A = this chain, B = another copy of it.
Amino acid sequence: MQYRFSEMFLRTLRDNPADAEVASHSLLIRAGYLRRAAAGGYTWLPLGLMVLNKVTAVIREEMNRAGFQEVHFPALLPREPYEATNRWTEYGPALFRLQDRRGADYLLAPTHEEMFTLLVKDLYSSYKDLPVSLYQIQTKYRDEARPRAGLLRGREFVMKDSYSFDVDDAGLITSYQKHRAAYQRTFERLNIDYVIVSAQSGAMGGSASEEFLAPAAAGEDTYVVTSGGAANVEAIQIAPAASIDFASLPAATVHDTPDTPTIQSLVEFSNSKPELVGAKPWTAADTLKNVVVRLTHQDGSTSALAIGVPGDREVDMRRLEAQVYPATVTPFGDEDFAKYPTLVKGYIGPGQLGKHASAKIEYLVDPRVAPGTSWITGANKSGSHVFHLVADRDFKPDGVIDVADVRVGDDCVVPAGTVTQLARGIEVGHIFQLGKKYAEALDLKVLNENGEQITVTMGSYGIGVTRAVAVIAEQHHDDKGLRWPRAISPVDVHLVIAGKDESLFTGATELANTLNAAGYSVLIDDRVGVSVGVKFNDAELLGIPTIIVVGKKFVDGVVELRDRFADQAVDVALTEVVGAVQNLK
């Protein structure tokens, strides 16, 4: 194929769009790949659609190679199957719901577990039919509270979603591993740098799951690396502190600590009073901070939850939300405090917390607050703290919750070992062992070898297709523009006509024909009245990896070959161009 810049529906922009927070968003808009059409909805312009199609083709090839079979479901679906699994309600405000002209409830599907389950139930009835893995590449909908970062968090996006169906756990694990391997091949072919991390299975239900995260500063996910592996920060487990024998511990005592509503002011005050300092100065890690939040449950009811963490840590809201899902979390406001008069803001202590205290606020503590650990904490009286309050001796939490922020050096159980790295990443893939949740809810059974009905066990597996385009752009660009990997580039060669002479236009077309014949698609920048400088800038912005400049040396049979990826340029004789292009990696 030959595309002429002068005829293409393509306009590059000099300025970053006002709402662009991340490089991929900004560059895809500026280079004329995308336009915003709605909040969280984008229009693919011709060059962008070519990239999307190349990404889609790689994904499809790898799914087919793995033996998965492609189908395609509607996006507009009736409520009933999602009611049966409770996802109609559980998905909350992120589900687009609507009614048809008869008032029947419909949704725009965010994923299709229910429909695939029903389809297999519809067609299959015997263990002999299994295993089977089906997939689709389809437009999905999610009413994001804050659509942002262009394709990274949209409300309408393309996903590849697969589902596996097996008769037993061993089969499920095999299917899961096949998908895992197919995903690894896919992301390698897409030139996406990724890490596989253990994940919380969250909204999907089910037991085991892993995420494919593309490391990127713009990522919304944080993951943790230890010597033993990697995990999403929502899925890690901090090693609990060892229990300590109470016997040798000093008794708890209450002291006036005026004007110490913050941890810092409390530590400073405590260290300034000789009678309060022990063998070594107090640090924030010696204090126990009690944070109270309001949970809103699925049925609309609310409750208060108090979380005790060492004072040098914050409660990580993402970790907390993952732990209490599907309930949602709101910080405690003045109105909430008004309902619990026994809580003294800034001086909340374990004495008024827990299901057995009068306020009946559930009280969960960090794994570091192990039996026998001793703390400075609030005395439930303004300007007053208790020192040497010992867990399990002086107070009994209702349980443990592992939601403090995570730091390098922390000891983990999952993944095992000491945290060596914390990094941000973009989720491009997610694989789940769903187990029997959906099959049970929708009664998907097959006959086993003994003629008995057994419930099928399932996996679900997703790749964010539109998001993958953004991730590639995010991982492959420089300050001049995009830099597409050759397998994904909208066209193979960007041919710049650098001059006004008619012979350059004729020569460029002939060269494009030669490249076409060798199997390369070409975009010719044939614009008239556009300076060479602007053409070069646009070529760098567009990011096609191979740029050929037909310019001054063309009369001598020489063109310039630029490798946008390696950032190198060499002169090449016209007769050698095809070979030189072939040699680029």
Residue A73, interface by CB 8 Å:
yes
Residue A96, interface by CB 8 Å:
yes
Stretch of A38-46, A317-325, A345-353, A531-539 lying at the B interface = A38-46
Residue A85, interface by CB 8 Å:
no
A 117-132 binary contact with B (CB < 8 Å = 1; else 0): 0010011100000001
Chain A residues packing against B (C-beta within 8 Å)? 7-9, 11, 35, 37-39, 41-46, 49, 52, 67, 69-78, 93-94, 96-98, 100-101, 104, 106, 108, 115, 119, 122-124, 132, 134, 139, 141, 143, 145, 155-156
Closest approach, in angstroms, between the C-beta of A50 and any C-beta of chain B?
Answer: 9
- Chain B residue nearest to A97 (CB atoms) is B98
Closest approach, in angstroms, between the C-beta of A136 and any C-beta of chain B?
Answer: 9
CA distance in complex: A41, B52 (Å): 26
CA distance in complex: A155, B7 (Å): 36
- Ranked nearest first, the 8 interchain pairs of A and B with the lowest CB-CB distance are A41-B74, A98-B98, A44-B72, A93-B101, A74-B156, A11-B123, A46-B69, A9-B69
- Chain B residue nearest to A13 (CB atoms) is B123
- Chain B residue nearest to A11 (CB atoms) is B123
Task: Answer whether A77 and B9 are a contact pair too, CB < 8 Å, given A44-B72, A69-B46, A100-B143.
Answer: no
Q: Which residues of chain B are near A9, meaning CB under 8 Å?
A: 69, 71, 123, 132, 134
- Chain B residue nearest to A141 (CB atoms) is B76
CA distance in complex: A518, B143 (Å): 49
Q: Which residues of chain B are near A72, meaning CB under 8 Å?
A: 43-44, 49, 52
B77 touches A37 (CB 8 A): yes
B41 touches A76 (CB 8 A): yes
A76 touches B35 (CB 8 A): no
CA distance in complex: A368, B191 (Å): 73
B115 touches A43 (CB 8 A): yes
CA distance in complex: A7, B129 (Å): 8
5 A-B residue pairs with CB within 8 Å: A9-B134, A38-B74, A43-B72, A43-B119, A75-B139
A70 is contacted by which of B46, B115, B122 (Cβ under 8 Å)?
A: B46
